[in-house]
Amino acid sequence: MKRTVREIGERGVIETILRFLEPMPGMPVPFGDDVSAVEVDGGRLAVVKTDMLVGRTDVPPGMSLKEAARKAVVMNVSDMAAKGVKPIAVLAALGLPNSLTERDVEELASGLNMGAREYGAYIIGGDTNEASDLVISCSAIGFCEKGRFIGRRGARPGDILAVTGFFGKTSCGLKILLEGLGAPREIRDTLVQSVLVPEARLKEGLALASTGAVTASIDSSDGLAWSLHELSRASGVGFSVENLPVAPEAERFAELHGLDPYELCLYGGEEYELVVTVRPDLWYEAERALRSVGGRLIRIGVATRTEEVTLNVGGRARTIESKGWEHFRT
């Protein structure tokens, strides 16, 4: 009882909170998924998401206020994307240190608007407050047919494990911004931009949802390894990862600094690729749907019966640890 949140960590905080919440009867999306939802009428859901950006932990040096505000929206869009739901509107509650200037507020407002408009949504309201930290707490809303909602629980053994892009760039970008590591110009921009201007895979998520091929989905904002373990726990399956999707720029950066590219790829975070499981019989439809919107679906492994997440590359099996970004601890 006397343990601090630093000791119990973010997962411990969430577990503690959930013990005190009476769940809504017939709640269409269980606690712990990327988003929440309420029924609108017979067949539809209003899908809602709230995600808070705090300057101290979520805004690395080098990120402008405009980029921070845009990111606060993108974080929410990404979770909606993972569920195949188009966000229609976003609310933004702001906590602002009173040393900010009018110009800073303009930057923030412009970033909020940009983040929403890039994905076809609008900022429709919000709230402003005084706070010690910069706090941007966005909430997004969208609608979907109940049967179309993609949760975390539907993965079955034999499903194909896939992602919408390569991993590791944000880990490298953060090392450049936070630790001052160097990188040749031709990769530096890509790595840094992946942190400063993250992109949600919305058109990819919507295209995937339209195929009915995806059995479970999550975004990778807490890192690829963490996402795999979350899907594993929620669906009661394991994963054998046979192809680790390391971004070429991350590979190069790892080589330069003697880092493990697998570490960069698996245990990063602030990455917004989708991690999905796909019915094998609909794989080509899913792949084609993604190509049709200019995206790609990269097969990285398969769902297995035993609840373990392993990396099987080069004839060698190693365990992928259940770790990732965690507030209060990291």
Look-up: residue for tokens 């970008």?
173
Q: CB-wise, 156 or 327, nearer to its own copies?
A: 327
Shortest distance in whole angstroms from residue 47 CB to its own copies: 10
Q: CB-wise, 95 or 269, nearer to its own copies?
A: 95
Of the listed pieces 51-59, 159-167, 263-271, 286-294, which binds its own copies according to CB under 8 A? 51-59
274-278/160-163 β-pairing: antiparallel
Q: Is 315 in the site for its own copies (CB under 8 A)?
A: no
- Residues 63-122 touching its own copies, rule: CB under 8 A, are 88-89, 91-96, 98-106, 108-110, 112-113, 117, 122
Region of 318 on the Ramachandran plot (φ > 0 left; ψ -120 to 50 alpha; else beta): beta
Alpha-carbon distances of 140 from 77, 93, 272, 294, rounded to whole Å:
7, 12, 16, 25
Using the rule CB under 8 A, which residue among 43, 62, 128, 288 binds its own copies?
128
Q: CB-wise, 85 or 247, nearer to its own copies?
A: 85
- Residues 226-285 touching its own copies, rule: CB under 8 A, are none
Using the rule CB under 8 A, which residue among 73, 82, 135, 234 binds its own copies?
135
Total interface residues for its own copies by CB under 8 A: 81
Q: In what order do the strands lie in the sheet with 274-278?
A: 214-219, 274-278, 160-163, 298-304, 238-241, 309-313, 316-319
Q: CB-wise, 31 or 284, nearer to its own copies?
A: 31
Q: Is 132 in the site for its own copies (CB under 8 A)?
A: yes
- Residues 166-185 touching its own copies, rule: CB under 8 A, are none
Of the listed pieces 10-18, 158-166, 173-181, 244-252, which binds its own copies according to CB under 8 A? 10-18
C-alpha angle with apex 178: 177 to 180, nearest 5 degrees? 70
Task: Give the Cα separation of 172 and 264 in Å (integer).
Answer: 7
Helix (H, G, I), strand (E, B) or coil at 207: helix
Quick note: the x/- pattern for its own copies over 11-50, rule CB under 8 A, is -xxx-xxxxxxxxx--x-x-x---xxxx-x---x-x-xxx
Q: CB-wise, 55 or 295, nearer to its own copies?
A: 55
Contacts of 191 (CB under 8 A, 6+ apart): 169, 170, 172, 173, 176, 183, 249, 250, 253
Q: Is 133 in the site for its own copies (CB under 8 A)?
A: yes
